[in-house]
Amino acid sequence: MMRTGFQGVARLVHHKALYRSPQTLPRLHLASAFGSSTDSLVARFCGEKTDLKDYALPNASWCPDMLSLYQEFLEKTKSGSWVKLPSFKSNRDHIRGLKLPFGLVAASDKQDWRLFTRSIQLEGQGYEYVIFFHPSEKKSVCLFQPGPYLEGAPGFAHGGSLAALMDETYSKTAYLAGEGLFTLSFNIKFKNLIPVGSLAVLDLQVEKIEDQKLYMSCIAQSRDKQTVYAKSSGKEICSLSLGCLPLPNPQQGGKQRVKDQVLSWSLVLLGVGMLLARDMDEEKEKKTRIFLVRITQPAPLQDSLG
């Protein structure tokens, strides 16, 4: 098992994708990894027949702007261009029936697992939001109304609550677009505060897919687009050569299977860590180049007649 594991890492190194190389990783086709196309992923994620509570439905706490814009996007779903994403209390409920990589299975469902943005169950007190996804254009719009339990400055939402929801919207969009696996970076710039109980509209776009990374951007603003609350960018690994990693053998005993799963994840973390190191080195080199340009530029000529 150990030999097979290191052979997996060796394959990644052979493709020169783990450290300082312009070449790309072998692509992971989600159709084979998850047994699903993008449309199938969306269909499973948005299954109609379920007894689970959908927290992305209107309730008495929604403000008029939230309700009316929700209805506008709901109308757009009738043409099939947009899809309203359900929001259950845990991602475990969304991934039922999907074939996870490495033969991994979720831990016991006996505990009360909750998604961070769905941890406050009282209507209107925490996160009130709904995400609409455009499969063909791979973009999303999230309608967000922060409650008083998300307060930062008196009367305004905490910046961290907005950042968390942006990250959640990135995650759902990347996953449903059929590319996103791991978040590499997330950057945000705050512009204005969001009043508690008001509507913020998060517009997320996929900017490009390059070097096996998915680059996305998001702007949070008021409905009339006159007030920008924050701008962010995110980068996720589009694909890893998961096929070259060892899979746990279901015929093995409990202890051995756990060891195999730990090894598989260790190899994944090793690959991600090396990718992060490469990105950090590239960013450091970029800053060094900028610094060198600055110190080697000739000083502007002074006006000797002045």
Catalytic residue positions?
Answer: 167
CB burial string 267-286: b at 16+ within 10 A, e below = bbeebbebbeebeeeeeeee
Give φ, ψ of 238 to 5 degrees: -75, -40
Chain-centroid distance, C-alpha 52: 23
CB 28 within 8 A of CB 239: yes
Amino acid identity of 28? L
The closest of 38, 15, 18, 3 to 276, measured between CA atoms, is: 18
